[in-house]
């Protein structure tokens, strides 16, 4: 029988040791990981040879001497990252690449067990137990890892899963009525839609069984850890506590908020996280930069210092929950989606955060262009419902909240759906970057 992750087992882990002991344990895990990649990963064997890196001499403090790996390299040379014979691979997923083609990520049995442990830690961290019933609104198939990861974590803590994946709003409603889940896992913008639907169908959020929401894939907090309007609406619609998590298929590691809700704790035995500047140099705690993850103990496609392209910060001050592990702040944006609009810089995320709160807006996407070198031009294409919102009122809302005024163009819902869900992309892409390209968008 699978050994369960209980609250007792959770609290015996390294992050509850003294800070010094936790670092020593993490450094042992790091050394073992680096020795593994030096022995089995063709990519890192070559890199370590070229750079003259001896894995036995690397400490947590000198880790930043190893060059970072990025998504482009992983996408172009994915075979050279494979560190086991193909026969050891048990699951293959795709991760949206930056080169136009999805990157293949392969996991061994051990990688999936590690993932289950990671997710179980995350679920216990936000107060879940074997008594919980968890509605999963993320898919378990389509070559994604998130659904499988949460399902494995739910099993490992002995709770019960309801795997309704990408089911319709009414099928989720029916399951909530019949099976009374205590926790819902899903993407915030979808859970807002589901929450509005429940309310519309007469299900009182205070009376329904859901007490916790695990928010995946989209940030719900701002840089001071307060809830974004999307997060506030989620809490109001569900009358439940929100817990944000951050994860990626490449790093196979997730960081989840604890009951103190002060950023996502990193399990020190499973990952080292750094925040780096453009040159890949580590920044001190509190500074904002790119999130770089070294997932520890991965066998299939191990990585060292992987640049995620996401922007955030770390907080290493003690947490009220008693854990000494640093916490990762909310994702403030994608590095590639930084916009310069008439002297103001902002991430595309910030525009999404406002658009997500306008009830009339059915869906939207952004187009960024660079008519000149000094400023980007952003156009928001939105489909709206039968309410009072029009292009002018949306522009005013954006101006009031962001101090930039992108052009808003209202389009038909069907046209917008084609744009968002058409083509080969497996994920909804709300950001079309035409900067540096001469084609015009109509």
Instruction: Report the nearest approach of Zn ion to the CB of residue 414 (Å).
Output: 45
Q: Which of residues 368-397 bind Zn ion (CB under 5 A)?
A: none
- Measure the CA–CA gap between 102 and 229, rounded to whole angstroms: 32
Instruction: Report the nearest approach of Zn ion to the CB of residue 265 (Å).
Output: 6
- Site for Zn ion contains 121 (CB under 5 A): no
Identity of the residue, 214 or 378, whose beta carbon is nearer to Zn ion in the bound complex: 214
For residues 203 and 176, the answer to whether their CB atoms sit within 8 Å is yes
Residues 6+ apart with CB under 8 A from 331: 219, 246, 291, 310, 311, 312, 349
From the list 70-78, 256-264, 410-418, 426-434, the region that binds Zn ion by CB under 5 A is 256-264
Phi, psi of 274 (to 5 degrees): -125, 155
Identity of the residue, 124 or 276, whose beta carbon is nearer to Zn ion in the bound complex: 124
Identity of the residue, 63 or 319, whose beta carbon is nearer to Zn ion in the bound complex: 319
Token pair belonging to 219: 């940030």
Instruction: Report the nearest approach of Zn ion to the CB of residue 237 (Å).
Output: 26
Identity of the residue, 259 or 413, whose beta carbon is nearer to Zn ion in the bound complex: 259
Instruction: Report the nearest approach of Zn ion to the CB of residue 22 (Å).
Output: 13
- Measure the CA–CA gap between 424 and 426, rounded to whole angstroms: 6
Identity of the residue, 125 or 419, whose beta carbon is nearer to Zn ion in the bound complex: 125
Identity of the residue, 319 or 353, whose beta carbon is nearer to Zn ion in the bound complex: 319
- Site for Zn ion contains 260 (CB under 5 A): yes
- Site for Zn ion contains 126 (CB under 5 A): no
For residues 185 and 216, the answer to whether their CB atoms sit within 8 Å is yes
CA within 13 Å, CB half, 237:
25
Identity of the residue, 29 or 319, whose beta carbon is nearer to Zn ion in the bound complex: 319
Q: Which of residues 179-208 bind Zn ion (CB under 5 A)?
A: none
Instruction: Report the nearest approach of Zn ion to the CB of residue 325 (Å).
Output: 8
- Measure the CA–CA gap between 385 and 397, rounded to whole angstroms: 17
Instruction: Report the nearest approach of Zn ion to the CB of residue 152 (Å).
Output: 23
From the list 88-96, 229-237, 258-266, 342-350, the region that binds Zn ion by CB under 5 A is 258-266
Instruction: Report the nearest approach of Zn ion to the CB of residue 21 (Å).
Output: 18
Token pair belonging to 133: 């019933």
Identity of the residue, 104 or 323, whose beta carbon is nearer to Zn ion in the bound complex: 323
From the list 5-13, 115-123, 257-265, 381-389, the region that binds Zn ion by CB under 5 A is 257-265
CB atoms within 10 A of CB 221: 23
- Measure the CA–CA gap between 16 and 322, rounded to whole angstroms: 7
Instruction: Report the nearest approach of Zn ion to the CB of residue 205 (Å).
Output: 26
From the list 5-13, 255-263, 273-281, 355-363, the region that binds Zn ion by CB under 5 A is 255-263
DSSP conformation letters of 216-230: -SS--B-TTSPBPHH
Helices 169-179 + 188-200 axis angle, to 10: 70
Identity of the residue, 16 or 190, whose beta carbon is nearer to Zn ion in the bound complex: 16
Of the candidate residues 22, 112, 256, 321, the single one contacting Zn ion (CB under 5 A): 321
Identity of the residue, 260 or 338, whose beta carbon is nearer to Zn ion in the bound complex: 260
From the list 53-61, 239-247, 318-326, 331-339, the region that binds Zn ion by CB under 5 A is 318-326
For residues 68 and 305, the answer to whether their CB atoms sit within 8 Å is yes
- Site for Zn ion contains 319 (CB under 5 A): yes
Phi, psi of 433 (to 5 degrees): -100, 105
Would you put residue 44 in left (φ > 0), alpha (ψ -120 to 50) or beta? Answer: alpha
For residues 284 and 277, the answer to whether their CB atoms sit within 8 Å is no
Q: What's the maximum distance between 2 C-alpha atoms anywhere in the chain?
A: 65
Of the candidate residues 112, 123, 227, 258, the single one contacting Zn ion (CB under 5 A): 258
- Site for Zn ion contains 161 (CB under 5 A): no
Burial 238-251 (b: 16+ CB within 10 A, else e): bebbbbbbbbbbbb
Instruction: Report the nearest approach of Zn ion to the CB of residue 129 (Å).
Output: 17
Instruction: Report the nearest approach of Zn ion to the CB of residue 313 (Å).
Output: 16
Identity of the residue, 318 or 385, whose beta carbon is nearer to Zn ion in the bound complex: 318
Task: Kindly determine how many residues on this chain lie close enough to bind Zn ion according to the rule CB under 5 A.
Answer: 5
For residues 143 and 426, the answer to whether their CB atoms sit within 8 Å is yes
CB atoms within 10 A of CB 442: 3
Identity of the residue, 115 or 258, whose beta carbon is nearer to Zn ion in the bound complex: 258
- Measure the CA–CA gap between 17 and 9, rounded to whole angstroms: 13
Token pair belonging to 102: 């999805």
Instruction: Report the nearest approach of Zn ion to the CB of residue 260 (Å).
Output: 4
Instruction: Report the nearest approach of Zn ion to the CB of residue 372 (Å).
Output: 46
Binding site for Zn ion (CB under 5 A): 258, 260, 319, 321, 323
């Amino acid at each position: 029988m699978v050994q369960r992750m209980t609250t007792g087992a959770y609290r015996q882990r390294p992050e509850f040791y003294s800070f010094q002991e936790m670092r020593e344990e993490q450094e042992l895990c790091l050394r073992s990981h680096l020795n593994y990649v030096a022995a089995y990963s063709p990519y890192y064997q070559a890199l370590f040879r070229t750079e003259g890196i001896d894995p036995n001499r690397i400490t947590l403090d000198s880790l930043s001497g190893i060059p970072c790996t990025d998504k482009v390299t992983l996408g172009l040379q994915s075979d050279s990252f494979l560190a086991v014979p193909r026969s050891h691979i048990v699951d293959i997923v795709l991760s949206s690449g930056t080169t136009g083609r999805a990157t293949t990520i392969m996991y061994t049995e051990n990688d999936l067990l590690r993932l289950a442990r990671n997710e179980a830690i995350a679920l216990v961290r936000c107060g879940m137990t074997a008594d919980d019933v968890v509605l999963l609104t993320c898919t378990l198939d389509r070559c994604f890892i998130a659904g499988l990861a949460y399902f494995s974590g739910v099993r490992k803590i002995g709770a019960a899963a309801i795997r309704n994946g990408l089911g319709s709003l009414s099928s989720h409603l029916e399951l909530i009525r019949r099976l009374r889940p205590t926790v819902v896992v899903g993407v915030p913008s979808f859970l807002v839609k589901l929450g509005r639907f429940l309310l519309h169908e007469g299900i009182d959020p205070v009376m329904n069984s859901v007490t916790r929401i695990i928010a995946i894939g989209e940030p719900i907090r701002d840089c001071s850890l307060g809830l974004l309007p999307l997060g506030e609406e989620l809490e109001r619609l569900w009358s439940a506590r929100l817990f944000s998590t951050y994860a990626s298929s490449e790093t196979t590691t997730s960081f989840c908020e604890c009951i103190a809700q002060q950023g996502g704790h990193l399990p020190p035995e499973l990952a080292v996280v750094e925040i780096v500047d453009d040159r890949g140099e580590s920044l001190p705690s509190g500074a904002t930069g790119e999130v770089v993850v070294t997932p520890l103990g991965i066998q299939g496609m191990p990585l060292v210092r992987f640049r995620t392209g996401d922007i955030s910060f770390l907080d290493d001050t003690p947490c009220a929950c008693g854990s000494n592990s640093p916490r990762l702040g909310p994702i403030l944006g994608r590095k590639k989606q930084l916009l310069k609009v008439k002297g103001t810089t902002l991430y595309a995320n910030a525009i999404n955060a406002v658009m997500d709160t306008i009830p009339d807006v059915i869906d939207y996407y952004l187009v960024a262009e660079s008519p000149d070198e000094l400023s980007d031009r952003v156009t928001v294409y939105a489909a709206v419902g039968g309410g009072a919102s029009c292009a002018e009122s949306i522009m005013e809302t954006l101006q009031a909240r962001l101090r930039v005024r992108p052009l808003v163009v209202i389009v038909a819902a069907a046209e917008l759906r084609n744009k968002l869900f058409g083509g080969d992309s497996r994920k909804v892409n709300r950001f079309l970057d035409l900067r540096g390209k001469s084609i015009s968008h109509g």
